[in-house]
Chains A and B, each alone.
Chain A
Amino acid sequence: MISIRNKRLARSAGGDAVVFVFLLLAASFTALPIVFAISNAFKPLSELFLFPPRLFVRNPTLANFQDLFMLMAQSWVPMTRYLLNSLIIVALGTVGNVLAASMAAYILSTRKFIGANLFMGMVVLSLMFSQEVTAIPNYIVLAKLGWIDTYAAVIVPAWGSTLGLYLMRKFIDAMVPVELLEAARIDGASEFRTYWGIVMPIVKPAWLTMIILMFQNLWANTGGHFIYSEQLKPLPHALNQIVEGGVARQGVGAAVTVLMMILPITVFVINQSQIIETMGTSGMAN
């Protein structure tokens, strides 16, 4: 039933059973509302407002999706444009953050220099300051730069997201042996070569995780006050407006939820399977 990776080292059947039951309970708690959301998306209106409510759909229909696509087709900015905006923001924001944060994390983790500790301390502290009150000063900074109502207003601040730096730092500290760095230095590898060719492949699980987190974060971004031109707005903004039509749009809302989940879930699954492959092939630690 349970396959053990660690070649059955220090594992008992009783323990496995306990683990399995625990996982089953936890999974039903976390997955239930998602199952419910998917089921709702395929419910006809009569079942959506059924009393008592049913978890699973009895007469599945694509009506909610048809309604949604009809509403989307009526939008004066084509839906494909919203999607393109979202993809640009997500792709550039994520790649930029991974590169900037991992470079900084690499140097902070492997070298000692004046200001390094101060910088790291500021990064950790900033994680604990409420985003709510920095939103207005942030807007002022962006306005001074003249970036309001451009993609850059969302993309560039994402590059400086501190969570990724902190995460990379912890992984480089834990996974990259000092001897390896010394060997690279003796062999005359440049700082950039060590970072890109040696350290980044080792900490692949870390930046794969960063990609998931950043992708999701930016995928949900509506542009807010930073992007106000309709043709520059990302997809969630357009879909939210459709859903806000009221009670009658409940079915459409469920369809939107499911539709918006597809891409993050795909990225998540690909990413998670990559993490596993890295470990199977790297052999760095051996």
Chain B
Amino acid sequence: MSSVAEVTTRQTGRYSLRDRLVRVLKQIYRDRECYLFLLPFGTIFTLFTVVPVIMSIGLSFTHFNMLQPARFIGINNYLRLFLEDDVFLIAVKNTLIYAAITGPLSYLGCFVLAWFINDFKPAVRAFLALLFYAPSISGNAFMIWTYIFSGDTYGVVNGVLMHWGIITQPIQWLIDPRFIMPICIVVVLWMSLGTSFLVFIAGLQGLDPQLFEAGAIDGVRNRWQELWYITLPQMKGHLMFGAIIAITNSFTAASAITNLVQDSLTTDYAAHTIVQHLQDYGTVRFDMGYACAIAVVLFFAMVVCQRVIQKLLDRMGR
């Protein structure tokens, strides 16, 4: 592969800038087909993801109300966020609680259920998969929860509790700060059997059956040993994928809350998360620069979390 020019530079041990540039260009030319394959996706990805993200990061250093041109204010947004904004600290606390509860639980739930139903006959499995995936399949089926937890006597929970005489007055489930957070967590968990669940099903289906036969011969006695010694190590890539989904979903679970409470704000900020804080500033207060700063902070929090999980998964099966 390496050209003569390359070998000579390597022998002399000197890399002039020009030589290196020539070498890089030669490699790019040699792999031109690769870039051709990457071109359609790469162009669209750059236009609609990379450029907007860079613009958002840029805006986080400005004051921008979407009407007047953005004005550069350095790191003032970040200083304000960490030093002056008490509500942001509540949002950080709530987001961490959400992420800590819904992240691992939904991740485990997705894998365990996908693994369990993998043993069934195809038709049964498709049916079970549908039952579990049902909450994700319809955009607004979860609005049914607003009906279940409705604050009047027509709400299902209030109706049942009053019927049994446990409570005499209907409870304002989605307004009372004591109940909002737990209810939101339940609803988010209910909706969490989504993308990762499907990916795990497909991943498990793709495993080589011979591995399991070999395992049985080598003395794998029960399903748990099979899981630990054969299935999990084979599923590493899928598990990393699921982890990223779990992180983004649990850190940004706010949209479910916003829809549930039908407002981006909750009483006493009881279920206020970072994304809701962001929505509040971005779409209600038109303080886009500040909203972008919040997004950047959230992004770094997720990246740190992802790195930690990557480390943990790398250690598995060693």
B145 is an interface residue with CB less than 8 A from chain A: yes
Q: How far is the CA of A99 from the CA of B288 in the complex (A)?
A: 35
Residues of B near A277 (CB, < 8 A) are 122
Instruction: Determine whether the beta carbon of B206 is less than 8 Å from that of A141.
Output: no
- What 1/0 mask marks residues of chain B from 104 to 133 whose CB sits below 8 Å from any chain A CB? 000001000100111111111110111111
A10 is an interface residue with CB less than 8 A from chain B: yes
Give chain B nearest CB distance to A286 CB in angstroms. 7
Give chain B nearest CB distance to A22 CB in angstroms. 7
A251 is an interface residue with CB less than 8 A from chain B: no
Residues of A near B40 (CB, < 8 A) are 99-100, 103-104, 159
Stretch from B5-13, B86-94, B156-164 contacting the other chain: B156-164
Give chain B nearest CB distance to A100 CB in angstroms. 4
| Those of A93-120 within 8 Å (CB) of chain B | 99-101, 103-104, 106-108, 111, 113-114, 116, 119
Give chain A nearest CB distance to B225 CB in angstroms. 7
Residues of B near A171 (CB, < 8 A) are 202-203, 206, 237-238
Instruction: Determine whether the beta carbon of B137 is less than 8 Å from that of A261.
Output: yes
Question: Which of B129, B135, B216, B294 meets A34, CB within 8 Å?
Answer: B135
B179 is an interface residue with CB less than 8 A from chain A: no
A180 is an interface residue with CB less than 8 A from chain B: no
Interface size on B, residues (CB 8 A): 116
Residues of B near A12 (CB, < 8 A) are 222-223
B172 is an interface residue with CB less than 8 A from chain A: no
Give chain B nearest CB distance to A105 CB in angstroms. 8
A130 is an interface residue with CB less than 8 A from chain B: yes
Instruction: Determine whether the beta carbon of A124 is less than 8 Å from that of B244.
Output: yes
Question: Which of A37, A113, A276 meets B125, CB within 8 Å?
Answer: A276
With A129-B295, A132-B278, A209-B202 known as contacts, the answer to whether A159 contacts B44 (CB < 8 A) is yes
With A10-B221, A129-B53 known as contacts, the answer to whether A23 contacts B117 (CB < 8 A) is yes
Instruction: Determine whether the beta carbon of B203 is less than 8 Å from that of A104.
Output: no
Residues of A near B220 (CB, < 8 A) are 9-10
Instruction: Determine whether the beta carbon of A157 is less than 8 Å from that of B298.
Output: no
Instruction: Determine whether the beta carbon of A53 is less than 8 Å from that of B159.
Output: yes
Instruction: Determine whether the beta carbon of B210 is less than 8 Å from that of A285.
Output: yes
Instruction: Determine whether the beta carbon of A257 is less than 8 Å from that of B140.
Output: yes
Instruction: Determine whether the beta carbon of B162 is less than 8 Å from that of A52.
Output: yes
A188 is an interface residue with CB less than 8 A from chain B: no
| Those of A231-286 within 8 Å (CB) of chain B | 236, 253, 257, 260-261, 264-265, 268-269, 272-273, 275-280, 285-286
Q: How far is the CA of A174 from the CA of B138 in the complex (A)?
A: 31
9 contacts between A and B (CB under 8 A): A33-B141, A50-B154, A113-B27, A116-B34, A133-B288, A138-B48, A171-B206, A191-B33, A205-B202
Enumerate the 8 nearest inter-chain pairs by beta-carbon distance, A residue then B residue, closest first: A160-B44, A137-B52, A52-B159, A205-B202, A220-B139, A137-B55, A107-B37, A104-B41
A interface residues (Cβ-Cβ under 8 A, vs B): 2-6, 9-12, 15, 19, 22-23, 26-27, 29-31, 33-34, 36-37, 40, 49-53, 99-101, 103-104, 106-108, 111, 113-114, 116, 119, 122-130, 132-134, 136-138, 140-141, 145, 156-157, 159-160, 162-163, 165-167, 170-171, 173-175, 191, 195, 203, 205-206, 208-209, 212-213, 216, 219-220, 236, 253, 257, 260-261, 264-265, 268-269, 272-273, 275-280, 285-286
Contacts A127-B244, A137-B55 given; 14 further ones with Cβ under 8 A? Answer: A12-B222, A26-B109, A53-B159, A125-B303, A129-B299, A130-B278, A160-B43, A160-B44, A163-B195, A170-B199, A171-B202, A257-B138, A260-B138, A264-B137
